[in-house]
Amino acid sequence: MRYRLKDKEFLFPVGDCILLDIEVASAETLANFVLQRMLETVKFPKNVTRIEIGVDEGRGQGAWTGQDL
C-alpha cells in the first residue's frame, strides 16, 4: 500500500493494512468503530450486559467507549 502526503511517501505491506470508513484515526474514533463492528457481528450471551472497548495511542494515552446491551 502506498500513501503519499505532500513530498513524503510511505509504503506498507498490504497484509498489514486495512482501510476503515472513518474520517479521523484518533483513539476515540477507532474505539467507537470497533465497538460498533462488534455490536453488529457478535451475538453476546444474555449474561453480558455491557461492552467496553479501549484503544491505546501510547503509554498513558488512549480512549475508552462502552455501551449497555
Determine the Cα–Cα distance for residues 23 and 3; give it in Å rounded to an integer.
16
Q: Where are the beta strands (DSSP E) in the chain?
A: 2-5, 8-11, 50-58, 61-68
Determine the Cα–Cα distance for residues 2 and 10; give it in Å rounded to an integer.
6
User: Is pLDDT at 65 greater than 90 in this prediction?
Assistant: yes
- The pTM score is 0.76
Task: Identify the pLDDT of residue 25.
Answer: 87
Task: Identify the pLDDT of residue 33.
Answer: 95
For the chain, counts of helices (H) and of strands (E): 1, 4
Task: Identify the pLDDT of residue 50.
Answer: 98
Per-residue pLDDT of 6-62, as tens digits, reads 999 999 999 999 889 899 989 999 999 999 999 999 999 999 999 999 999 888 899
- Residue 23 makes CB contacts below 8 A (sequence gap 6+) with 29
